[in-house]
Structure 1
Amino acid sequence: MPNKTKILIVEDDMIIAANISLQLTNLGYQVTALISSANDALLQFQNNKPEIAIIDINLKGKLDGIDLVTKMQETQNIPIIYLTANTDEAHFNRAKSTNPFAFISKPYKNLDLQHAIELTLNRIKANKSEIKLETTEKITPFILSDSIFVKHLEKMVRVNIEDILYIEAERNYCRIHSKTKEYLLVMTLKDLDEKLPNRHFIRVHRSFIVNLSQIVEIATSYIVIAKKAIPVSKALKEELLNRLQTI
């Protein structure tokens, strides 16, 4: 019998949490826990890592659902599905900066939940297939003063530094987002960060390196590049602001 997908539910309304759990169980998934607070959820992430987490944005307490995901992403990446109710634009932009796989609006329909899980699983599968396809042979990128040569479809192609928007960590891989294409590299974000020219790039989060020249907006906890909100760690915010004044 195939292993059941493990799903964590973080929702402070236990009636809603129980209904979600029942539906997921009936659909053949394994609910690892029903958690009502962000602090308890952080412990659960450490002790019994789920494959998907469904998290209510409006958790009560010091940390809301977005704060919880931000803290969780400092140490690990787990596909997130947000539950939302009357979320304003500010909350939506904060949530978007954590790169969720899906949003479910309350009150939700059973089919909404089912589709969100299926789409998330399809995206996880596609990411794994792409990594397998692109990384059959490990080739370190060549980094020059104005460009990077990276492997793409069995060839080494040149990517101009001025065209790179940002670079995103995917576990032991990196995804370069350029103005026209995306490229997957077989190396960690930490290793790539050490090789990139620091006059152009800065690491702003454990999962993101950005091209300083591409930043178009700076908010309290995120920046915007090409209409994408990218989270900024508090510890790195001051360095980012200092670097922007020198370019």
Structure 2
Amino acid sequence: MKTNEPVKILIVEDEMIIAANMSLQLTTLGYEITGILLKGEEALIHIKENKPDIILLDIQLKGTLDGIETAQIIQQDYNIPIIYVTANSDDAHFNKAKTTNPYGFISKPFKKQDLQRTIELAINRFYTEIESEIEPTEEDETLPFILSDCIFVRHQDKMVKVQIADILYIEAERNYSRIHSKNKEYLLVVTLKDLEDKLPNNHFLRIHRSFIVNLSQIDEIATSHIVISKKAIPISSDSKKQLLQHIQKV
């Protein structure tokens, strides 16, 4: 998902030919590969520095940790969907892997379509689980999912990840809200007031009835307006005082 940022996938597979083929197929499908690793121990280090959105994990790895043990350790600290890749689909391995509640299984040899469908199902399940943690409203289908460093917005019939750091400002358009990011705009079927209530206030501040701004993106503060990416946005004296107080805390 690019600012429309692509879904980031980590491949943990000790057969390099299979891993390289998987990486090529996923790249052509529009996904971003954060790494191709041979061992579970390497995956644990990688995740700390470059957290993926999904992990494709071979069940039978050749390192100290097998895939299932690696998944168990990951799940202690991270909520990352795991899809197992396996050439061995016997009941014993399946039942052991099932205890980690994976988001899917891909059997080797696999087809490009197998990858695509399994990953799409995993993404849909992850969104559904996020949604279930939010108090239901009539607008559940259109409200964004807001996490600590990004928000998922509905765009062209799919959910797209937008990094909070990339959002410049959000503008009201009657009962809609338009997110202006560094590279793209997103029109949401939600009022600015409803969006304001959900956004993290350490990043965003409503400075006008029609504008919420990302505090980290402000370029200038003038008497009656601020400037973000050459856009002058009006601000009242009371909002300006509040803005200055917020900036001092950031």
Bin for the TM-score computed over the shorter chain: 0.5 to 0.7
Shift of 1:135: 9.0
- Aligned ranges 1:119-198 → 2 under 5 Å: 119-134=121-136
Shift of 1:107: 0.8
Shift of 1:22: 0.7
Structure 1 residues 63 and 135, CA gap change in structure 2 (3 angstroms):
farther
Shift of 1:80: 0.5
Specify the alignment match of 2:89 in structure 1: 87
Specify the alignment match of 1:41 in structure 2: 43
Match of 1:7 among 6, 9, 33: 9
Specify the alignment match of 1:73 in structure 2: 75
Q: Aligned partners of 1:89, 1:39: CA distance in 2, in Å? A: 26
Shift of 1:133: 3.6
Q: Aligned partners of 2:66, 2:136: CA distance in 1, in Å? A: 37
Q: Aligned partners of 1:18, 1:25: CA distance in 2, in Å? A: 11
Q: Aligned partners of 2:137, 2:44: CA distance in 1, in Å? A: 32
Residues 39-74 of structure 1, C-alpha deviation per residue, up to 9 Å, x if partnerless? 101001111111100000011122110010011112
- Asked whether the equivalents of residues 41 and 64 of structure 2 are also in contact (C-alpha less than 8 Å), the reply is no
Specify the alignment match of 1:56 in structure 2: 58
Q: Aligned partners of 1:23, 1:108: CA distance in 2, in Å? A: 11
Specify the alignment match of 2:111 in structure 1: 109
Normalised TM-score (structure 1): 0.53
Q: Aligned partners of 2:88, 2:51: CA distance in 1, in Å? A: 29
Residues 140-174 of structure 1, C-alpha deviation per residue, up to 9 Å, x if partnerless? xxxxxxxxxxxxxxxxxxxxxxxxxxxxxxx99xx
Q: Aligned partners of 1:135, 1:59: CA distance in 2, in Å? A: 44
Task: Report the AA paired with residue 102 of structure 1.
Answer: G
After superposition, the CA RMSD in angstroms is 2.1
Q: Give the match's secondary structure for 2:77.
A: coil
Q: Give the match's secondary structure for 1:107.
A: coil
Tell me the number of residue pairs that the alignment of Structure 1 and Structure 2 aligns: 138
Shift of 1:110: 1.1
Task: Report the AA paired with residue 2 of structure 1.
Answer: N
Specify the alignment match of 2:34 in structure 1: 32
Unpaired stretches in structure 1, ≥5 consecutive residues:
137-170, 173-247
Residues 113-144 of structure 1, C-alpha deviation per residue, up to 9 Å, x if partnerless? 110011011111222222224499xxxxxxxx
Unpaired stretches in structure 2, ≥5 consecutive residues:
139-146, 149-250
Structure 1 residues 62 and 29, CA gap change in structure 2 (3 angstroms):
same
Q: Give the match's secondary structure for 2:117.
A: helix
Residue identity (%): 52
Task: Report the AA paired with residue 37 of structure 2.
Answer: I
Q: Aligned partners of 2:128, 2:58: CA distance in 1, in Å? A: 26
Q: Aligned partners of 1:85, 1:59: CA distance in 2, in Å? A: 11
Specify the alignment match of 1:161 in structure 2: none
Normalised TM-score (structure 2): 0.52
Give every structure 1 segment of 4 or more consecutive aligned residues whose post-TM-superposition deviation is greater than 6 Å.
none
Shift of 1:29: 0.7
Q: Give the match's secondary structure for 1:40.
A: helix
42-51 or 85-94, which moves further after superposition? 85-94
Task: Report the AA paired with residue 111 of structure 2.
Answer: K
Structure 1 residues 135 and 71, CA gap change in structure 2 (3 angstroms):
farther
